[in-house]
Amino acid sequence: MSKKIMIIGFDDKAKAIAALIQNRPQLNMEVVDFWEYNPVNKGSYTINEISFDLPNELILMKIDIVIFATDRNCSDIFGYDIIPPSIKRYEIKDFYKKVLKEEYNEKKKITHVSRYASPYVGGIESVIDQINSGLPEERFDKEVICCSNTDKSSIDNGVKFTRCKFLFEFAANTISPSFLLQLSRVKTDILHYHMPFIFAVICHFIARPKYKKLYISYHGDIIGYDRYMKYFMGMYKYFFKKADVIHVLSPRAIELDNKLQMNRDKCRIVPFGVELENLCSEEEVLNCKKNYGDKKIIFCIGRFVHLKGFIYAIEAMKYVEGAILLLAGDGKLKEEYETYIRENNLQEKVKLLGFVTDKRQKELFYRICDIFILPSIRTEAFGIVQLEAMKQGKPVINTNLGTGANYVSVGNETGLSVEPKNPIELARAINELLNDEKLRLRLGQNARKRVEELFDIKKVQELYNEMYN
């Protein structure tokens, strides 16, 4: 007669061990029931609208073995052990080792905490997506807690997204009581915050989430809100001190920030990565390029906000001939850009493309351009968009901010660097590359080589796996 097994738990771990037992008839075991602790009706689990009491069920069903496929046992739940001594019990790890004769590889749970997340488009959101896509599902459970008033919570590509409604935005923070509540319910292996997000830091110390390791991805400093943020700087620095691992995208970040220098031994450098393969055919590229005639093409992409400095790229086109600036994006400054273009008669030199989210369409613009520009005027922690252009062998003109953006594309090696807020110097750099094809090609070839060496997605994903292990 086969031994009857009850599994305490009703999640993926319980189902997995039940499937293993079912597929090994030589064990002479049968899973006859699942039971799960119900905190609402303590000591019972309701299935098919019938409430079972665990002790009575064990006796009535003549259970031989109980397997705990949870992180709680009966003593934790009830305050005493209700399982009769005649019934053998196993923790899930012991059952794997002693009965199944194999190691139990429990999944590690990663919980990301960010202001926004996919489908919102931005650098931080792209990093979160890249981390999650690179961690194998058989070894990691992945979830993201963020804020959104437009998208509902969901499970996308194996990642659980908990999206919290927020009341308002203040000083680059989303203020959300439900976010605080969700954080108080967290129980995870690695709690991974994406900074800057001061409200999340405040919530962390109030909610006291449960975790084994604290990770922080540092995407840049808080800009423009010093008069508000100065009251929280002590707590912010203490938060970084408590971290087990601080993830930065480039070595420049450590050099520029006192918080990181104080915790240098915790810092792990893992850059953003790109896939080296293309999506579009040469025919598609040629057809796209025909839309702009014989003009040389300069490309920019990003949110239409002051920090990106696009107004200086538009102004620079007054001093450039035989070329067109394609500017992809949207935002609160769109009308200002349109007005400037119209008042300065730049309609034939500057085209606003709108928000380009389709990967294939975006790739086409990177491939047809001759030069890519990143004209940011203040902190640009990395400048992911540069990688997409460099991958296509395009030289980059960025601004000399001394940040991670200049680590990605190096002046006079993979492109040129100019001073921020200087349209005259920017125009001079554009004309230099347009008029010197050999220089343009050499810098573009160097750009492609740098991406292959440092930013290949396969190499980056290996680094992320090492960081979490």
pLDDT tens digits for range 73-93: 555 555 446 677 788 888 877
Supply the pLDDT for residue 45. Answer: 39
More confident residue, 222 or 175: 175
Q: Helix or strand or coil: residue 317?
A: helix
What DSSP character marks residue 456? Answer: B
pLDDT at 104 over 80: no
Supply the pLDDT for residue 280. Answer: 94
As given in the structure block, the two tokens for residue 245 are 């691992």
Q: How far apart are CA 96 and CA 20, in angstroms?
A: 10
Supply the pLDDT for residue 36. Answer: 62
Residue extents of the structural domains in the chain:
3-98, 108-269, 282-454
How do residues 223-242 score in pLDDT, each as one tens digit? 777 777 788 889 999 999 99
How large is the average pLDDT for residues 128-150?
Answer: 92
Supply the pLDDT for residue 76. Answer: 57
How do residues 366-405 score in pLDDT, each as one tens digit? 999 999 999 999 877 788 899 999 999 999 999 999 888 9
Q: What percent of the chain has pLDDT over 90?
A: 64
Q: How confident is the model at residue 51 (pLDDT cuts 50, 70, 90)?
A: very low
Q: How far apart are CA 397 and CA 371, in angstroms?
A: 7
Supply the pLDDT for residue 304. Answer: 93
How do residues 14-47 score in pLDDT, each as one tens digit? 777 787 788 788 888 888 777 664 444 444 433 3
In 3D space, the residue among 202, 259, 193, 196 whose CA is nearest the CA of residue 222 turns out to be 196
How do residues 411-438 score in pLDDT, each as one tens digit? 999 999 999 999 999 999 999 999 999 9
Supply the pLDDT for residue 13. Answer: 74
How large is the average pLDDT for residues 291-296?
Answer: 92
Do 3-98 and 108-269 have matching folds? yes
End-to-end CA gap in the chain: 43
How do residues 166-183 score in pLDDT, each as one tens digit? 999 988 899 999 999 999
Q: How far apart are CA 189 and CA 111, in angstroms?
A: 8
pLDDT at 9 over 90: no
pLDDT at 311 over 90: yes
Tokens 């046992």: give the residue: 73
Cβ-count burial of 142 within 10 angstroms (0-12 exposed, 13-18 middle, 19+ buried)? buried
As given in the structure block, the two tokens for residue 57 are 């069920």
In 3D space, the residue among 218, 63, 39, 223 whose CA is nearest the CA of residue 127 turns out to be 218
Supply the pLDDT for residue 68. Answer: 80
329 Rama class: left (phi>0) / alpha (psi -120 to 50) / beta: left
pLDDT at 163 over 50: yes
Query: Considering the chain, what is the average pLDDT of its residues?
Result: 87
Tokens 């139990």: give the residue: 104
Q: What is the amino acid identity at position 463?
A: L
In 3D space, the residue among 92, 83, 96, 86 whose CA is nearest the CA of residue 3 turns out to be 86
Query: 202: part of which helix (H) or strand (E)?
Result: helix 198-207
Q: How confident is the model at residue 3 (pLDDT cuts 50, 70, 90)?
A: confident
As given in the structure block, the two tokens for residue 195 are 């900074």
Q: Count CB-CB contacts under 10 A for residue 149.
A: 13
More confident residue, 318 or 50: 318
Q: What percent of the chain has pLDDT over 70?
A: 90
Q: How far apart are CA 370 and CA 363, in angstroms?
A: 13
Q: How far apart are CA 58 and CA 160, in angstroms?
A: 35
Question: How much of the chain is in helix, strand and coil states, percent to nearest 5?
Answer: 40, 25, 35
How do residues 339-376 score in pLDDT, each as one tens digit? 999 999 999 999 999 999 899 999 999 999 999 999 99
Q: What is the amino acid identity at position 115?
A: R
Q: How confident is the model at residue 131 (pLDDT cuts 50, 70, 90)?
A: very high
Supply the pLDDT for residue 375. Answer: 96
Which residues are registered as beta bridge partners of 210? Answer: 187
pTM: 0.74
Least confident span in 53-62, 132-141, 277-286, 362-371: 53-62
As given in the structure block, the two tokens for residue 149 are 């008033």
Cα 201 to Cα 5, 399, 463: the distances in Å are: 45, 31, 26
- Phi, psi of 234, rounded to the nearest 5 degrees: -60, -45
Helices 384-391 and 437-454: angle between axes, nearest 10 degrees:
110
CATH of 3-98, one of 3.40.50.720, 3.30.230.10, 3.40.228.10, 1.10.10.10: 3.40.50.720
CATH architecture under which domain 108-269 falls: 3-Layer(aba) Sandwich (3.40)
Supply the pLDDT for residue 353. Answer: 94
How large is the average pLDDT for residues 49-60?
Answer: 55
As given in the structure block, the two tokens for residue 410 are 């190096």
Supply the pLDDT for residue 49. Answer: 32
CATH architecture under which domain 282-454 falls: 3-Layer(aba) Sandwich (3.40)
Supply the pLDDT for residue 357. Answer: 85
Supply the pLDDT for residue 98. Answer: 79
